[in-house]
Amino acid sequence: MDYSQFLAMKQEIALLGVFLLVFLYDLFMPKNSQRGLSGFTIAMFAIFTVSCFCPVFISGQEVAFGGMYVTNPVMLTIKNILNVGVLIVLIQASRWANSEMQIIRRGEFYSLMLVTLFGMYLMISARHFLLFVIGLECASLPLAAMVAFEKNHYESHEAAIKYILTAVFSSAIFMLGLSFVYGLAGSLYFDSVYFALTGADATDPMLIVALAFVMAGVGFKLSLVPFHLWTADVYQGAPTSVTSYLSVISKGSAAFAFMVILTQVFGCVYSQVWEWMLYALIILTITVGNLFALRQHNMKRFLAFSSISQAGYIMLGIIGCNAMGMASLMFYILVYIFSNLAAFGVIQAIENQTGKVDMTDYRGLYKSNPHLSVVMMLAMFSLAGIPPFAGFFSKFFIFTGALSGTESTALYVLVLIALINTIISLFYYLLVVKAMFLSSEEPVIAPFRSACSERVGMWITVAGILALGLVSCFYNQILILCQTWGLPSLA
Amino acid sequence: MEIKLLYYLIPSLIMFCCGVYGFLTRKNMIAILISLELMLNSIDINFVVFNRYLYPDGHEGMFFSLFAIAIAAAETALAIAIIINLYRATKNIDVRDTNKLKG
């Protein structure tokens, strides 16, 4: 065996290195230096994140393990985007991880988080369904353990039960679909399946069933409607740091992997089979997510439904099946990471200080904590898509991506529905802003000063929201990369 | 008598459907876990049978089912651990009573 092919997976190996360092630090360092574990993890991961932007990592398309694993500058970019998100989550989580109840277990928390990130890397780079399934499980099983992390809270257990049972159920459905794909194509390599399906009859029931099961399986991970029922409960019950991780990183990687599967494997039956399945899923996801978000009072549940509808918008980048859609999907994930993490940063700061997560508790927040409420307002504006902020441009690009190079009226109707839903979503995002700024009642939450790590996390997210909205080079860079290195079937 | 491909596929599909039925109707979490296990095992049969009958030159299906067995074991172990945690907290593993999160 040629061991030099491991060099193709530089990023994965570097991440494993960070994981091992954190793991060994947690196990073997003497008690008096254990205090530095959080700082050590954040520092190591920050070094890793920054070094991944170095040109050493970018050297064109690299293939390992007989084509099972592929990496190229586009994959590198999406992994870097996820890295930035994980870094922010780590910074925001450090106060919670160092709290009295969690401090003995925080080493496990960091290790599990890095392992799930490794699984997501494999999901993104896999070109064989076996590697993909291993990555998927590696990304979702440790997450269940993280959801169950608050041992002394009943809600955390219930959320973990719901998460693990639906995760196993969905992966069973996904693998049943894969077994049909294998029966049809005789191989599990993405490109072999693509070639086997090229001349295939698109009305073959087995193909339709296989594709439906595969989409249902990944739809569970992405919490697309009608596979979304676990989302709100798990988001509410899990520790807030884990919720923020679930809602941005896990969702972002699953969305990218979903796009790879649909375009690389099933690209040849795009217009006959999966375009219409995805069409229905998008309309349902955006609308149902929005309508249920309207009636939520718990902030974490509210953001859960908002994240369901955001997943629908992300799917708009796939339905166009072109390079621009791919670029706007990646840009959307990037913007979504910053906006959602800003909102979760504020929620976490308030929860750590006072234990309150209800929307009614946010009344009059501007009077007592003006900085926090401004951050929250920016996050809500960005999620809703109000012009100068990043969220507007990500929505704009994703609509353009869905429509570029198509004459189909149906897609225009789809974008129109998505636009109407944006207006509905404006209502509930502004409800939070109204409660914070316009409520005449006395503030529920007394003034307090949030911890240093929380402030750093918020500064980064605010800078991201403003910079991505005002500076155009990020999107251009991603678009150029996607046009040169995009998936072959997207050309 | 020769055993055809279909004689394997139909029982495995019935097994899968039994798993889905059990997952949706059972009230005890351990029973739900057993139903999930039934679903995962029927997939292994599918892979092995497709490999043996349709593509006997390669071993991809066999390898996939080997890995799937390992993954299923990991999933069960984790689910059991979480259920035990819940049992310690509430002395109850009935899904009907696990419904505090809603809204």
The answer to whether A379 touches A340, Cβ cutoff 8 Å, is yes
Answer whether residue B32 is part of any domain: yes
| Domain map (residue ranges) of chain A | 3-485
Neighbours of A112 (CB within 10 A): 19
Peptide bond between residue A226 and the one before it cis (omega within 30 degrees of 0): yes
| pLDDT at residue A6 is higher than 90 | no
Confidence class for position B18, pLDDT limits 50, 70, 90 = very high
The secondary structure element, H or E, covering residue A163 is helix A154-185
Answer whether residue B83 is part of any domain: yes
Chain A 154-193, residues with CB within 8 Å of chain B CB atoms = 154-155, 157-162, 164-165, 167-169, 171-172, 175-176, 178-180, 182-183, 186-188
| pLDDT at residue A286 is higher than 70 | yes
DSSP letters along A403-458, please? HTT---HHHHHHHHHHHHHHHHHHHHHHHHHHHHHT--SPPSSPP----HHHHHHH
ipTM, two decimals, is 0.96
**Tally of domains in chain B:** 1
Contact A158 B86 (CB under 8 A): yes
Buried b (16+ CB within 10 A) or exposed e, A157-191: bbbbbbbbbbbbbbbbbbbbbbbbbbbbbbbbbbb
Chain B 3-32, residues with CB within 8 Å of chain A CB atoms = 16, 19, 23, 29, 32
Residue among A242, A243, A251, A195 at smallest CA distance from A218: A251
How many Cβ pairs within 8 Å bridge chains A and B?
Answer: 121
Q: What is the DSSP letter of B99?
A: -
Confidence class for position A64, pLDDT limits 50, 70, 90 = confident
The answer to whether A129 touches A188, Cβ cutoff 8 Å, is yes
Answer whether residue B74 is part of any domain: yes
The answer to whether A207 touches A184, Cβ cutoff 8 Å, is yes
pLDDT of residue B61: 92
Instruction: For residue range B53-64, list pLDDT tens digits in order.
Output: 999 998 999 999
Confidence class for position A89, pLDDT limits 50, 70, 90 = very high
3-state secondary structure of B94: strand
Chain A residues within an 8 Å CB radius of B32: 165
Answer whether residue B97 is part of any domain: no
pLDDT of residue A182: 94
Task: List the CATH number of the domain containing B19.
Answer: 1.10.287.3510
Residue B9 identity (one-letter amino acid): L
| pLDDT at residue A491 is higher than 50 | no
- B31: domain range? 7-90
The answer to whether A382 touches A335, Cβ cutoff 8 Å, is yes
How, if at all, do strands A62-64 and A69-71 pair?
antiparallel
Q: What does the block give as tokens for A241?
A: 């740091």
Alpha-carbon separation of residue B37 from B11, B25, B61, B81 (angstroms): 15, 15, 19, 16
Answer whether residue B36 is part of any domain: yes
Residue with tokens 């990183």: A249
Contacting residues for A434 by C-beta, under 8 A, at least 6 apart: none
Answer whether residue B21 is part of any domain: yes
Instruction: For residue range A430-452, list pLDDT tens digits in order.
Output: 999 998 998 888 888 888 888 89
Asked if the C-beta of B35 comes within 8 angstroms of chain A's C-beta atoms, the answer is: no
A128 bridge partner residues: A189
Contact B86 A157 (CB under 8 A): yes
What is the pTM for the complete model shown?
Answer: 0.94
3-state SS of chain A: helix, strand, coil percent to 5? Answer: 80, 0, 20
How far is the C-alpha of A19 from the C-alpha of A98, rounded, in Å? 19
The secondary structure element, H or E, covering residue A63 is strand A62-64
Residue among A307, A367, A311, A374 at smallest CA distance from A346: A374
Instruction: For residue range A235-263, list pLDDT tens digits in order.
Output: 999 999 999 999 999 999 999 999 999 98
